[in-house]
Amino acid sequence: MTTTTEIDRPRTPPRAIGLAKTGLVLAAALALPLMLQRYQLGLVSNAMILALGAIALNVVMGLAGLVSAGNAALFAVGAYGAATCAVFLGLPFPLTLLVCAALGALVGLLVGLPALRVRGIYLAIATLALHYVVIFVLSRYQAGTVGPMGFVLPKANLFGFVLNEEWKWYYLILVSLVLCFVAVNNIKASRIGRAWMLLRDSPIAAASQGIAVSRYKLLAFVFSSAIIGFSGGLHAYYHSNVYIEAFPLELAIQVIAMIVIGGWGSTGGAIAGAFFISLLPTALSLLLSVLPRNAAATEFLARNVGDVQLIVYGGLIIGFLVLEPDGLAGLWKRWEKRLLRGLGT
């Protein structure tokens, strides 16, 4: 029986292997700017900003078992908060990012408070409403202040250190991502994280254990909203431009696709899913350029990139839900187990 061997084996790989893995990933991440061109590094930075949002959404969906379609809206709140602080108030960059996180948390609290009083599913509706209302308000705000071209932000200045190069941005975003990763994983292993997972798996059991269900759900949503707000601010400064068309509902669906593909509740999976989804268009266009010039097919794909993306995201969400509910994280775990067995550990 497989179950007995499962119990005999240590559930997690030995500590040394875990450390080696972490070291390997970190070394690769640190060395990446040496290996990639500027444009490619930009793609990775962009993927990492989205990964922040995916990690945050994973707290809400993967750990607490709630559906949120509000990622794009909260991202926009952060971005417009950063634009306002930088352009109108002249606040320094680090302080601006804190304001973004606070704004995200505040909006999350305002929406989560009424929605989570009743049933988890209401958060899906409330965040959908949030999306349309926030985008409407921000587009009026943009139209009333700077016009259709949107805000232009100054160069970010981190305590006198000007972020004027791609690699400098890369390291800043990498540090943010690592910090966020560690923070979320620590919370996941704490009392709060265990409470979230229990109320995801059985709200009734959670309530009978004395967990204040609504309060913990709200905490998950507000915490995640703060991270998304922060990443929105980072996004605004990184692109030094904020305009309303950058935050469609499709963006929220994209982030949901990231964590479904990455695997429920797995922080590393969320990052993997973020890379997968955000590098997909690039991979597709690369594929197009490599393909023999079948003009009709190439032209068709090039002309309908947006629609094809919608289909691919939707198809991936459905496909992973049905066939591989644990996502890339689950696949990776299986491969790793096989690999370790092969090495004789």
Partner 1 sequence: MDILVGTLLLASMYALVAFAWVLMFKTTGILNLATGAHLAIGAYLFDTFATRWELPWAITIAGWLVSGLAIAWVTQMGLFRRLAGQPEFVLVIATLGLASLLKGVQSLTWGTDSRLIREPFRDEFYFLPGDAVISAYGIATIGVAVVVFVASGIFFSRTKIGVEMRVTAEHAILAAQSGIRVDRIYIIGWWIAFSIASLAGILYAYNTALSPNMGDALGLRGIAPALVGGLDSIRGVIPGALIVAFAEVVGVRLLGGQMQDVTAWIVILAVLLIKPNGLFGSASVNRV
36, 129, 192, 340: which one binds partner 1 (CB under 8 A): 129
> Cα(59)–Cα(289) distance, rounded to whole angstroms?
38
Is the torsion defined by CA of 19, 22, 26, 28 positive or negative? positive
> Cα(10)–Cα(297) distance, rounded to whole angstroms?
51
Q: CB of 77: closest distance to partner 1 in angstroms? A: 15
Q: CB of 134: closest distance to partner 1 in angstroms? A: 10
CA separation (Å) from 23 to 32, 45, 74, 144? Answer: 14, 20, 33, 50
Nearer to partner 1, 175 or 321 (CB): 321
36, 213, 279, 284: which one binds partner 1 (CB under 8 A): 213
237 close to 93: Cβ distance less than 8 angstroms? yes
44, 51, 69, 195: which one binds partner 1 (CB under 8 A): 69
59, 85, 103, 126: which one binds partner 1 (CB under 8 A): 126
Piece of 12-20, 206-214, 221-229, 335-343 that binds partner 1 (CB under 8 A): 206-214
Question: 235-274 mask for partner 1 (x: CB under 8 A)?
Answer: ---------------x--x--xx--x--------------
Of 81, 112, 43, nearest in space to 232 by CA: 81
Using CB under 8 A as the binding rule, whether residue 73 contacts partner 1 is answered as no
Nearer to partner 1, 175 or 318 (CB): 318
Using CB under 8 A as the binding rule, whether residue 115 contacts partner 1 is answered as yes
Neighbouring residues of 263: CB distance < 8 A, sequence distance ≥ 6:
62, 269, 270, 273, 326, 327, 328, 329, 330
